[in-house]
Amino acid sequence: MSTDEPRIPGNFIRTIIDEDIAAGKNGGRVATRFPPEPNGYLHIGHAKSICLNFGIAEDYKGLCNLRFDDTNPHRENIEFVEAIQRDVSWLGYDWADRLFYASDYFDQLYGHAVDLIKKGRAYVCDLGPEEIREYRGTLTEPGRESPHRSRSVEENLDLFARMKAGEFEDGARILRARIDMASPNMNLRDPTIYRIRHGAVHHQTGEAWSIYPMYDFTHCLSDSLEGITHSLCTLEFEDHRPLYDWFLDVLEVECHPRQIEFSRLELEYTITSKRKLTRLVDEGQVEDWDDPRMPTIAGMRRRGYTSAALRDFCTRIGVTKSDNNVEMGVLENCVREDLNRCAPRRMAVLHPLKIVLENYPQDQVEELQAANHPQDESMGMRSIPFSRELYIDREDFREEAPRKFKRLVSGGEVRLRNAYVIRCDEVIKDSHGEVIELRCSYDAETLAANPEGRKVKGVIHWVSARHAIQAEVRLYDRLFSHPNPGRDGGDFLEYLNPESLLTLTHCYLESSLAGTVAGEYFQFEREGYFCVDAGHRAEKPVFNRTVTLRDSWARIEQKNK
Ligand code: ATP
Ligand code: MG
């Protein structure tokens, strides 16, 4: 990734790191990690964490590892492992040879658990899940000690070895840390370290293990084994930090990373929870994880968002400990700004209305020249065929219209972008009174923009009927019709926006759009930014609208106020 892009601006995490470096901690070294659980695709919230972890490492000339937090074989699979690597890499970050799995450490973690038992700091407990909950107490009442808390070290070692050997059923026994059942911090009330997962097939370790370590135990030790200096995570882990430190202190490991928490990104009109995104996919509410309406990195990529725009967004939203609820418009503006800079301009008619220029020679075709970008000459020119029969957009014609309608009206004139001024002479309708064609005439003297004395109010886009390419165009809207779907109780699915996808099957594109490849993006003039869909092998090309030209959503909200 280029280093002259905006860097992560100052934030409280950098202040802490600066202080640690000044104090000579870790020999001035900075090492971070991004630790996804491979139980779903990454979403925009993960992008924040990726940019933070990799960005900090880059800025401090340190290293950032990609580590799969793979301790739950029931919910994880290799598809997710692969998708996550693809997404991090697409975002522009390189973990080089530092791709790790928590499961790489299963042997070491087992050894550490045995050490805890030997130190009298862990025990095998036979209480069932119900009883465990009951013994745990509440926020206002202390818990009660398990009857198995005083088992001898020998008995614990024997039972734990037999748990590993697969002698017991799921849930029959667990290994627990022996900390404090009366702690005001519930996480310290003898938390589970290992549970039995019989017959599970793990994507990395197969059927080698019958027991799996819990997140809190695994995470701190994986960080320590990798020599991580600053373990950045989201605020819900703040109450787990004493446990993170407890394991590392009691086990007297060499490297004791520092956990620092920041607030999760929440984006309005969508969701950033893998559990909920999984439901959308499993219940068929969207096409798949990479549906262009999804807030997943894969979905946003397919929608046409650029990785530069996502990194810019993550820089702009900043990193703090306070609520990070961000309006969708902030993300869309980043996308717009980037595409405005780099998307070639094209013409495309989404709701075609045929027009015939009756004074234009029958078989004549002119190759008109148009700039690919109005502000960037280096993007060059293209030629656009002009002929007697054209398509314009239905929205650009009204039989009668108020004065402020600047497009084509019956008997009026309009300029065709990059071409001539035309006049509408006759409106042809079908038997239902619907306009199906316009008879027009063109003025051959008007090819140069605004010839002397010529006043035309509007400019509209068009394509030559004979040369146009047919395409399907998909227009996307918010996936949810509520800014915080389901966060005030209720099922989030009730807030799905039924109009989040509008498919236009008969659109016409200018001929230079022949042969485009998946992922290529353009500005369709006056319509927005579009990209070639990657998810389909359809006969005609499919274009996704990435984003509109302006923030129409903000205007609608303004009006409703
Ligand atoms: P989810 O609640 O969506 O399942 P998670 O936290 O369980 O998310 P992980 O795969 O464990 O998902 O997350 C990997 C890393 O990304 C963690 O360090 C986590 O804190 C961070 N992360 C997850 N969601 C967000 C978010 N919305 N904003 C910022 N960071 C996030
Ligand atoms: Mg998690």
Maximum C-alpha span of the chain: 101
Q: From residue 488, give the alpha-carbon distance in Å to each of 72, 136, 416, 483, 557.
A: 29, 28, 50, 11, 21
For range 37-44, the mean pLDDT: 98
Residues 513 and 366: their CA atoms lie apart, in Å, by: 18
Task: Write the residue with the smallest CA distance to atom 14 of ligand 1.
Answer: 36
Alpha carbons within 13 angstroms on the beta-carbon side of residue 53 total 31
Q: What's the mean pLDDT when you consider all of the chain? A: 94
Tell whether the model's pLDDT for residue 18 goes beyond 70.
yes
Q: What is the pLDDT of residue 455?
A: 75
Residues with CB under 5 A from ligand 2 (ion): 37
* Cβ–Cβ under 8 Å, residues 226 and 67: yes
Distance CA(378)–CA(135), nearest Å, equals 71
Pairing of the two strands 413-416 and 528-532? unpaired
| Ligand 1: residue whose CA is nearest its atom 4 | 274
Average pLDDT over residues 520-534: 96
pLDDT of residue 488: 75
Give distance in angstroms: CA of 448 to centre of ligand 1: 56
- Beta strand 174-177 with 122-125: parallel, antiparallel or unpaired? antiparallel
Q: What is the DSSP string of 425-462?
A: EEEEE-TTS-EEEEEEEEEGGG-SSS-TT-----EE-E
Q: Are 174 and 152 in contact (CB under 8 A)?
A: no
Ligand 2 centre to CA of 52 (Å) is 17
> Distance (Å, rounded) from C-alpha 244 to C-alpha 219?
8
Q: How far apart are CA 35 and CA 230, in angstroms?
A: 13
What dihedral do alpha carbons 198, 203, 208, 212 form, nearest 10°? -50
- The amino acid occupying position 95 is W
Identify the nearest ligand to the CA of 39 by its number.
Answer: 1
- Cα separation of 398 and 400, whole Å? 5
pLDDT band at 1 (very low <50, low <70, confident <90, very high): very low
Q: Angle of helix 44-59 relative to helix 12-22, nearest 10 degrees?
A: 30
Residue 537: pLDDT band with limits 50, 70, 90:
low
Q: What three-state secondary structure class fits 490?
A: coil
Q: What is the pLDDT of residue 2?
A: 44
For residue 538, the model assigns a pLDDT of 67
- Let me know if 65 is exposed, middle or buried by CB neighbors in 10 A (0-12, 13-18, 19+): buried
Q: What is the mean pLDDT of residues 297-302?
A: 98
**Residue 225 Cα to ligand 1 middle (Å):** 21
Pocket around ligand 1 at a 6 A CB cut-off: 35-37, 45-46, 48-49, 69, 233-234, 264-265, 272-275
Mutate to test the pocket of ligand 1, among 80, 93, 230, 234 (most ligand atoms within 8 A of CB): 234
Q: Please identify every residue annotated as catalytic.
A: 37, 264, 274
Using H for helix, E for strand and C for coil, what is the string for 217-261? HHHHHHHHHCCCCEEEEEHHHHHHHHHHHHHHHHCCCCCCCEEEE
pLDDT of 447: 87
Atom of ligand 1 nearest to the CA of 49: 30
Ligand nearest to the CA of 32: 1
Compare 556 and 341 and report the one with higher pLDDT.
341
For ligand 1, the distance from its centroid to the CA atom of residue 99, given in whole angstroms, is: 18
- The Cα 5–Cα 308 span in angstroms is 9
Please tell me the distance between residue 244's alpha carbon and the centre of ligand 2 in angstroms.
15
Residue with tokens 């370790």: 205
- Confidence band, pLDDT 50/70/90 cuts, at residue 6: very low
User: Contact, 36 vs 234, CB < 8 A?
Assistant: no
The DSSP result for 512-526, as a single string, is GGTT--TT-EEEETT
Tell me the one-letter amino acid at 532: V
Q: Give the position, in ligand 1's atom list, of the atom nearest the Cα of 264.
A: 28
- Whether 106 and 209 have beta carbons less than 8 Å apart is answered as yes
CA distance 371 to 382: 6
Number of neighbours of residue 342 by Cβ within 10 angstroms: 13
Q: Domains (ranges, CATH) in the chain?
A: 12-264 (3.40.50.620), 274-344+471-560 (2.40.240.10), 353-460 (2.40.240.10)
Output the CA 558–ligand 1 centroid distance in Å: 33
Q: pLDDT tens across 407-456, in order?
A: 999 999 999 999 999 999 999 999 999 999 999 999 999 987 666 667 78
Question: What is the Cα–Cα distance from 137 to 88, expressed in whole angstroms?
Answer: 41
Alpha carbon nearest to ligand 1 atom 9, residue? 36
pLDDT tens column, 251-290 = 999 999 999 999 999 999 999 999 999 999 999 999 999 9
Ligand 1 probe mutation, 33, 34, 39, 46, most atoms within 8 A of CB? 46
What tokens does 405 get?
A: 């309608």
The tens digit of pLDDT for each residue in 350-406 reads 999 999 999 999 999 999 999 999 999 999 999 999 999 999 999 999 998 888 999
pLDDT at position 10: 74
Q: State yes or no: pLDDT of 239 exceeds 90.
A: yes
- Asked if the model's pLDDT at residue 158 lies above 90, the reply is yes
Bridge partners, residue 476, by sequence: 501
Contact 324, 312 (CB under 8 A): no
- The enclosing H or E element of 348 equals strand 348-349
Residue 561 has pLDDT above 50, yes or no: no
Distance CA 251, CA 121 (A): 10
CA distance 477 to 377: 33
Measure the CA–CA gap between 254 and 231, rounded to whole angstroms.
16
* Cα separation, 550 vs 541, whole angstroms: 25
pLDDT digits (tens, 9 = 90+) for 309-330: 999 999 999 999 998 999 999 9
Closest residue by CA, ligand 1 atom 18? 233
440 and 423 Cβ atoms separated by less than 8 Å: yes
